[in-house]
Amino acid sequence: MGLERAAIVVMWTVTALVALTLLAPLVVTLAVSVSASSVFNLPPPALSLRWYERMLRLRQLWPAVRLSVAIALISTAVSLVLGTLCAIALIRATFPGKTTLVTFMVSPLMMPGLVVGVALLQTLRELGLRDAYASLLVGHVVITLPYVTRTVLASLSLFDFTLIEAARTLGYSPPRALLNIMVPVLAPAFLTSGLFAFLASMDNYPISIFLVDARNKTLPILMLQYLEENPDPTIAAISSGLILLTIVVLLIADRLVGLRRLADF
Amino acid sequence: MKGGAAYLDVGGVAKRFRETPVIRDLDLQVRAGEFVALLGPSGCGKTTLLRIIAGLLAADRGRVTLDGADVTRVPAHKRNVGVVFQNYALFPHLTVAENVAFGLKARGTPAGEIAGMVARALALVRLSKYGSRPIFALSGGEQQRTAVARALAVRPKLLLLDEPLSALDRKLRETMRMELGHLLHDLGITAIFVTHDQDEALVMSDRIAVMNAGRIEHFDTPAAVYARPATPFVLDFVGTSTRLRGTVAASDGDELLVDTAAGRVRARGRAAAGAAVLVAVRPENVRVGPGGGNTLELKVRDLVFLGSKLVLHFHAAEGDQAVAELPAGSTEGLAPGARVTVSWPVGATLVYSVP
Amino acid sequence: MSVTPIAVARSIAPRRGVEPVALLALPGTAYLVVAFAVPLALLLVTSLVSDGRLTAAGYARFLADPFSWTVIANTLRIAALTTLVCLLAGYPAAFALARAPGALQAVLLAALILPLSVGVVVKAFAWTILLRSDGVVNRLLLAIGVVDTPVRLLFTEVGLVLGAVNIFLPFMVLPIFAVVKLIEPRLLDAAATLGASPLHRFVRVTLPLTMPGVIAGVAFVFSMSVSMYVIPTLLMGDRFKTLSILVARSFLFMRDRSLGSTVSVVLLVIAVAVVVASALLARRWQPGR
């Protein structure tokens, strides 16, 4: 029994450490962002909001934010459609090579982003596509599609399709039945995968770095550039803004779906 | 009589979950080699009692003794009490043979002996050729037999079965009842099984413990539990009956005269005049036509033809019921609405005091 | 939960013609083929073509250079260390998460998901602050008395692994948690009644049943660590070269497309090997169906 007791103590100790280290960077960023000093000292010698003011005056910031958000929203939306259709086919139809197809659809998650980015750049250039915005969209759908396919597939595997048949006997055409019955049931899966897909797109560096140009920069690229050029706490202010925004989004998601569901990404 | 002193002795056991008492001051003594049924409705505490005996749950109070040793504080993995779970709990990542071998490996049985013991266990349940099958490829009946083989392979001192047949379809259930009963008797294993199905309990067990709300209300052979149920609950849970509420009109020695809505009934027992009682009689003791003992005039409500027998349901007062069971024969004069005279011997009347 | 999320029911009999439902998979699949598979294939091809001829000279040069092997070794070493530490820390954490009562579980889940959502640049940047000589980590170590003088963590492999582990932990914990949640408690009861001690129950029942989650977690973290770029750039700087850093430098700074393509393909081969290995392992460890 001593061994069991010890194992439980170790388990909770490790978990506590894990939780602390996971939150540590966030706390640090928030602390530095309100520091009056321009050197990254902790604890901050005095408090000040000057870095937030600086952030608001940063000319390149807002276009980058707008670009990142737009790309993220559009690519997530496209992926939700393509991924759901694919998941339906994988669950309902019988054809050879299903497992391989699933592996393929999920594989972009596990491929080195830089390699995918440079490959895509090469191909797009060959095809004559030079527009950064369009290129970013193409690349970000590749990033977000696996999240959606994976989560929706897992959710669909638990869905009772006799509900659709019941709806059909009650007068719904097959597409209407799918729309009215399946979509509400899949809503949590859409929310979860949509959230993760959106965040993955907002956060993406390796693919984006090859597809941006001087005038169109996404937020992560701008931030890394800023860090390399002027390392001052403005970057912490921007980061803190993102953290606070994410907290709000997670609170809303928890209200709608419950944090436990989000864990099934 | 098998055995002598109690092989399993459960004394004064009580258990509550949060504030709700699930088992109240319960005693149970099972003899070696006996096959006991724990019968009761859902929520009566029978599965909880099983878990306490297995060592998966600790009782709040009381003592559990097995084969002379006090096992109250002994954890499940040291008790050597086998369990067949309701949904079998077979290890999905192991084959049939590996499942059966699991307990043997856990006890450090030498590898050379395991194969032989597994083969014997599988032969007992007629699954000899199934050793290398994965669990998901088995039917319900095959899974059940694997679970039994797994529990028996380690030669437990006591075998507990939690609703072992409830997941099977009817035909299979009836076959398995016989098989399981024979198997366990042949091996001489002491076993307790939990069920809510009274037929199962009546057919399979040496003794039945009828449980209600955390207590054992009657613990005796199936024949005794059926013919002379100890309480109204047991009367109703096992079999059916004609049951009438009434008041004691007169008592003389150990003969009682009871006034009921359907008429006067004589019974053997002791009670004060004016006491509220319940009188009852099993349907197969009731005959149509006048006879000795008790006679009542009743109006037929339903006639149910069951092939080898006829069941008559009569109109009765609110809260009462009247049922008679007759061997197949002429149904003349027995249509719904007909007025019939029924009778039964005084000695077959059961009487209970009503609080 | 495996890398391929569920075991999709395998087709039994070949069907005549194509089911209309199957066509729903076409848009998504076609998209990935065109935007993902084809570009990668083209990359592979261009890396083998030089001056209009098919040649593996680029690979020969790369693999003959001892520096290349240093880079490959760096990449694999860091990835292996990161994955190992993530596994050792993440496995118990997944169990704690599954056992935690309601409110605590919500807090732990938030702690896992919130950092996931904040972005690699932010977190890597925060770790540069934490790992400085006067940073929190060093001050903690001094306070407990583990060291006498501040340890240099920035621009060291230890610091890099620390940062990477921290950032990839959720990808190890969540897949394992998903599987632990599903383990029927009755299986452990059954094992106990068969005589298995708590240790035996863990090794023979719990551990095998969590393997699909472990494989998924290890596959994710390993492939992400092999491919990571932002984290080593910020935490190690110029002196340390991994395959990803080499790819970025070749294309973005050195403008050496030939080298870049070669290194890219090497990186790709490693990533594909991880996917294939994890898919095969998952099939072996998938209980049932």
C30-51 pLDDT, tens digit each: 999 999 999 999 888 888 876 6
Name the residue among B89, B91, B107 with its Cβ closest to that of C195.
Answer: B107
What pLDDT digit, counting tens, does each position of B4-33 carry?
A: 568 999 999 999 998 899 999 999 999 999
Please answer whether residues B107 and C195 qualify as being in contact, where contact means their C-beta atoms are separated by less than 8 angstroms.
yes
- Of residues B145, B132, B198, the one with CA closest to residue B176: B145
Give the chain A residue nearest C116 (alpha carbons).
A199
Long-range contacts, B66-74 (Cβ 8 Å, 24+): B66/B7, B66/B8, B66/B9, B66/B157, B66/B158, B67/B7, B67/B8, B67/B32, B67/B157
Residue A74 has pLDDT above 80, yes or no: yes
Contact C43 A111 (CB under 8 A): no
Q: Would the CB atoms of A86 and C129 count as touching at under 8 Å?
A: no
Region B248-264: mean pLDDT is 89
- Compute the distance between CA of residue C195 and CA of residue B75 in angstroms, rounded to an integer: 10
Beta sheet of B8-17, edge-to-edge order: B20-30, B8-17, B61-66, B69-70
Q: Which residues of chain B are within 8 Å of residue C201 when distances are taken between CB atoms?
A: 77
pLDDT attached to residue C13: 45
Q: Say yes or no to pLDDT of C5 above 70.
A: no
B77 with C196: Cβ contact below 8 A: yes
Question: Measuring CA to CA, how many Å separate C116 from each of A23, B51, C125, C172, C177?
Answer: 11, 43, 15, 12, 16
Instruction: Return the closest-CA partner of residue A155 out of A91, A95, A93.
Output: A91
- Inter-chain contact B89–C287, Cβ cutoff 8 Å? no
Among the partner residues A95, A102, A120, nearest to C35 by beta-carbon distance: A120
User: Rounded to two decimals, what is the model's pTM?
Assistant: 0.82
Report the percent of chain B where pLDDT is more than 90.
Answer: 64
A210, A214, A220, A223 alpha-carbon torsion, rounded to 10°: 140
Sheet containing strand B242-252, strands side by side: B263-268, B255-260, B242-252, B276-281, B350-353
- Report how far residue B200's alpha carbon sits from residue C236's, in angstroms, rounded to the nearest whole number: 73
Comparing CB atoms, the residue among A18, A202, A203 nearest residue C169 is A18
Contact residues, chain C, for B152 at CB < 8 Å? none
Residues B97-105, mean pLDDT to the nearest whole number: 93
| CA nearest neighbour of B80 among B206, B189, B195 | B189
Residues 228-257 of C with CB under 8 A from A: 229-230, 233-234, 243-244, 247-248, 251-252
Tokens of B148: 């039994």
Instruction: For residue B273, count other CB atoms closer than 10 A to its CB.
Output: 11
Subunits close to A (at least 3 CB pairs below 8 A): C
State how far the Cα of B324 lies from the Cα of B301, in Å rounded to an integer: 12
Decide which of B2 and C35 is more confident: C35
Alpha carbons A140 and A108: distance in angstroms, whole number: 11
Query: Which of C183, C186, C187, C193 is the best residue to mutate to test the B interface, defined by the most B CB atoms within 10 Å of its own CB?
Result: C193
Q: Does C206 touch chain A (CB under 8 A)?
A: no
Q: Which of A4, A34, A65, A110 has the highest number of chain C CBs within 10 A, making it the mutation to test binding with C?
A: A110
Query: Which CATH number is associated with domain B8-236?
Result: 3.40.50.300
Beta strands in chain A (DSSP E): none
Sequence ranges of the domains in chain B: 8-236, 240-353
**Exposure letters A27-51 (e unless 16+ CB within 10 A, then b):** ebbbbbbbbeeeebbbebeeeeeeb
Pick B54's closest partner by Cβ from C193, C198, C208.
Answer: C193
Q: Which of C 61-80 lie inside 8 A of A, CB atoms?
A: none
Touching subunits for chain C (3+ Cβ pairs under 8 A): A, B
What is C129-157 written as a DSSP string? HHTSTTSHHHHHHHHHTS-SS----TTSH
Which of C12, C27, C96 is nearest residue A85 as measured by Cβ atoms? C27
Res. B266: pLDDT tops 80: yes
Chain B nearest-CA distance from C35, in A, is 39
pLDDT tens, residue by residue, C198-255: 999 999 999 999 998 999 999 999 999 999 988 898 888 777 889 998 888 888 888 7
C-alpha B296/C-alpha B258 separation (Å) is 13
> Three-state SS across A192-238?
HHHHHHHHHHHHCCCCHHHHCCCCCCCHHHHHHHHHHHCCCCHHHHH
Residue B150 half-sphere exposure toward CB, CA atoms < 13 A: 35
Of the candidates B332, B233, B344, B349, the residue with the CA atom closest to the CA atom of residue B280: B349
User: How many interface pairs between A and C have CB atoms less than 8 angstroms apart?
Assistant: 312
Q: pLDDT band at C10, cuts 50/70/90? A: very low
Report chain C residues whose CB lies below 8 A from the CB of B82: 193-194
Measure the CA–CA gap between C244 and A115, rounded to whole angstroms.
8
**Other Cβ atoms closer than 10 A to A159:** 17
Take residue B260 and report the two structure tokens written for it: 């009921």
Chain C residues within 8 A of A85 when measuring between CB atoms: 24-25, 27-28
pLDDT digits (tens, 9 = 90+) for B192-205: 999 988 888 998 89
Which among C184, C191, C208 has CB closest to B93? C208
The top-scoring range by mean pLDDT among A29-38, A45-54, C102-111 is C102-111
Please judge whether C195 and B55 are an interchain contact, meaning their C-beta atoms are less than 8 angstroms apart. no
Examine the pLDDT at B228 and tell me if it is beyond 80: yes
Provide the token pair at B108: 């450090």
CB contact, 8 Å: C196 with chain A?
Answer: no
- Closest chain C residue to the Cα of B85, Cα to Cα: C190
Q: Which residues contact A231 (CB under 8 A, 6 or more apart)?
A: none
The complex scores an ipTM of: 0.84
What is the phi/psi pair of residue B305, to 5°? -95, 120
Question: For chain C, which domains are there?
Answer: 24-55 (no CATH), 66-285 (1.10.3720.10)
How confident is the prediction for chain B on average, in pLDDT? 90
User: In the predicted model, is pLDDT for residue C289 greater than 50?
Assistant: no
Residue listed under structure tokens 């719990």: C206
Q: Does C42 touch chain A (CB under 8 A)?
A: yes
Return residues 131-150 of C near A (CB < 8 Å). 132, 134-136
Whole-Å CA distances, B119 to B115, B124, B133, B202, C224 = 6, 9, 14, 32, 48
Q: How far is B12 from chain C (nearest CA, A)?
A: 23
Contact B106 C289 (CB under 8 A): no
Determine the topology of domain B240-353 in CATH: OB fold (Dihydrolipoamide Acetyltransferase, E2P) (2.40.50)
Nearest residue to A193 via CA among A70, A84, A67, A71: A84
C183 touches chain A (CB under 8 A): no
A121-128 contacts, C-beta under 8 A, 24 or more apart: A121/A210, A121/A211, A122/C39, A122/C42, A122/C43, A122/C46, A123/C38, A123/C39, A123/C42, A124/A211, A126/C42
pLDDT of residue B211: 94
Structural domains of chain A sorted by starting position, each given as residue range(s) with its CATH number in brackets: 61-216 (1.10.3720.10)
